[in-house]
Chains A and B, each alone.
Chain A
């Protein structure tokens, strides 16, 4: 059986291809310029995929993240389209093309899976992310690099303060009441993990007020709506930005925190902002040399285990994360990783685990072993093959 993989600069491209190879599949690939073309509507892009399917006689198509044009192409050629989405929020999942029976759309956030199923979409499945521990193990570090990346606490990720993330700046001119309302729902959401009230809080009146200053286009082919877009792309991101900033501030008041982030952080003078870190070669080094690795999930990920968490555990790092309920399916807090439930809880636990080296290392090792054995690409591919009926 031959699989056509869509090549773009996604996470894990080589890992998944090698896993399919090991499972006995033949592979071919095609360049998929999803950043240059509109992957929702571009006929040209769909044509590229169709031609590649035909030229290679592919039996199935695979891509990380779901692309409507790929679904169209695969459906047209009557071959299966398997996608594994690791981004959030991910608006393309709400394209009407998701319902094509040739689709097998895997998503990493169980609440997203339930959401879509409840909307009547039967082609989605839940599949948590994975890590290639062989690859992480193979990364060599010099003594200099060990020193360079050494940290007590590390947070690797965007603070979402960059202009391109602060979509709420589009709301300039928003009336006071609505601006206050958005702050209120964020105040509330901050108190709780495991459920998101952001979308349902978007009443028609509030949406109308926002659209007065920021009219949103209607894509026409989707079941997502203004409430979904606003809450996931705008409000969730803003809330995450506030939370990451708040938490890093509280931590850096007491401990040494290293930030690997593209943004300047003038409001966090006590944190050591080391700029960006390259994902493939250097990110693992940053993880391995930090005593504690933080994960503060993007709020649009309601229950899912972020890819970042698998990266960290797969590198043998100690993971300290906000509570995300999907972890409960596979991991035990206090044994394989540790979760916090509030800013205060985070500060306390960070302090505790900085003091208790043996316990911390033992937890990191246990998390690493579980990821290595149960959350590698071979296991995921096996599951994909089973669900998509590709034996």
Chain B
């Protein structure tokens, strides 16, 4: 396999990926996509087909980060394997009717999602952890005690808050479930809890994706609920940790009521430097990620930062708590470990170094993309 057609859009990690493909000896031809819709965007489809036909040698594979139904359609028609590496979660296009196309090779970073789709009969779906961009800095200088980079999912990012015109009783019930889930660590109760009110939800809340998608409106809505839970999780964490420690918050807008220092938005290219210069880098996972290791964790480890994160099962296969990373299962544990590792510099640095070593060994773009393209 030599020739890769790289389907790019706006993804921030494009350059890292293409660089590693080239370094690994692949010939990469980039197709810069332009589309108005995900399905049957004729202009985009035509352009893509033209690129495939006219590009010198026929591509052995098409690659994109995230999943694009039209690309899958073109790949199927042309008989070319389509490697899709999804780093967003939730990722609505996965519900496309095209997911089962036999030329697809879809990689997800949450093993529970892989299980779910396999259980629905979709075979070409596989697990891969997300990549870590390695940035070596042997002399880190600390400018931050605790840093958190993340969306708070409130204000105009709060889709759940946009839900209006539903009966008070149903709103109360959904709010109750959201609050309860926020109080429970490590276990998702939302699917079970809304089973009894699925028809009511369908009646008042329309979340269907249209005719080219499998019926999964309840799944979509439950993920909207999970985003809301994440908002509560992150705001509460900022309160709890900000009261005890010096916390720097990087997110889309200021939250003056939180006892943290708001630092604005951090550009992607500046992330490694930030993470390297923070004693403790927090990850508070989006609740729709059930077992998977979020990209944020990989970014922290790749930049040699110390990562303190909520526990996700897929971590067991790659990391060891207290050796590469520190994870917690409860709020009290989070506070304890934050305190401990802020005070114990040597241990913390050792863990950060070991975490980066693990990232170099197991999570580099070269290694993971190599594994991915081996799945013919």
Contact = CB atoms under 8 A, between A and B. Distances in A.
A178 B196 CA distance: 18
B172 A176 contact: yes
Contact of B180 (A178, A179, A180, A197): A197
B169 A192 contact: no
A217 interface: no
B168 A175 contact: yes
B194 interface: yes
B206 to A, nearest CB: 20
Interface string B189-205: 11011101100000000
Given A190-B193, A200-B183, A201-B183, A185 B176 contact: yes
Contact of B192 (A185, A191, A197): A191
Contacts of B192: 190-191
A184 to B, nearest CB: 2
Contacts of A162: none
B177 interface: yes
Interface string A143-185: 0000000000000000000000000000000011111111111
Interface in B165-195: 167-181, 183-184, 187, 189-190, 192-194
B180 A185 contact: yes
A182 B180 CA distance: 10
A189 interface: yes
Instruction: Determine the interface band of chain A, counting residues with CB < 8 A from chain B.
Output: 20 to 34
Interface string A187-207: 111111001010011010000
Given A177-B169, A179-B169, A191-B193, A184 B183 contact: no
Contacts of B179: 181, 184-185, 197, 201, 203
A185 B187 CA distance: 15
B173 A180 contact: yes
A186 B187 CA distance: 16
A184 B169 CA distance: 10
Given A177-B168, A197-B180, A201-B180, A183 B187 contact: no
Given A177-B171, A190-B193, A184 B184 contact: no
A190 B196 CA distance: 12
Contacts of A189: 180
B167 A176 contact: yes
Nearest to B176: A184
A178 B177 CA distance: 12
Contacts of A182: 172, 176
A179 B171 CA distance: 10
Given A177-B169, A177-B171, A179-B169, A187 B187 contact: no
B262 to A, nearest CB: 26
Interface in B126-177: 167-177
B168 A184 contact: no
Contacts of B169: 176-177, 179-180, 183
B190 to A, nearest CB: 8
Contact of A179 (B172, B174, B178): B172
Contacts of A188: 176-177, 180-181, 184, 189-190, 193
B229 to A, nearest CB: 11
Given A178-B172, A180-B172, A181-B172, A187 B167 contact: no
Given A180-B168, A181-B175, A185-B177, A191 B189 contact: yes
A181 B174 CA distance: 7
B197 to A, nearest CB: 8
Contacts of B178: 184
A325 to B, nearest CB: 14
Nearest to A189: B180
A195 B181 CA distance: 12
A68 B282 CA distance: 47
Given A177-B168, A180-B168, A201 B193 contact: no
Contacts of B176: 180-188, 201
Given A189-B180, A192-B184, A197-B184, A184 B193 contact: yes
A175 B193 CA distance: 22
Contacts of A176: 167-169, 172
A180 B167 CA distance: 10
B171 A187 contact: no
A180 to B, nearest CB: 3
Nearest to A202: B179
A247 to B, nearest CB: 15
A192 B177 contact: no
Nearest to B191: A191
Contacts of A175: 168
A72 B116 CA distance: 60
B189 to A, nearest CB: 4
A192 B168 contact: no
17 contacts: A176-B167, A177-B168, A177-B171, A180-B168, A181-B175, A183-B173, A184-B179, A184-B180, A184-B193, A185-B177, A185-B179, A185-B180, A187-B197, A188-B193, A189-B180, A200-B183, A201-B180
Interface of A: 175-192, 195, 197, 200-201, 203
Interface of B: 167-181, 183-184, 187, 189-190, 192-194, 196-197
The 3 closest A-B pairs by CB, nearest first: A184-B176, A180-B172, A188-B180
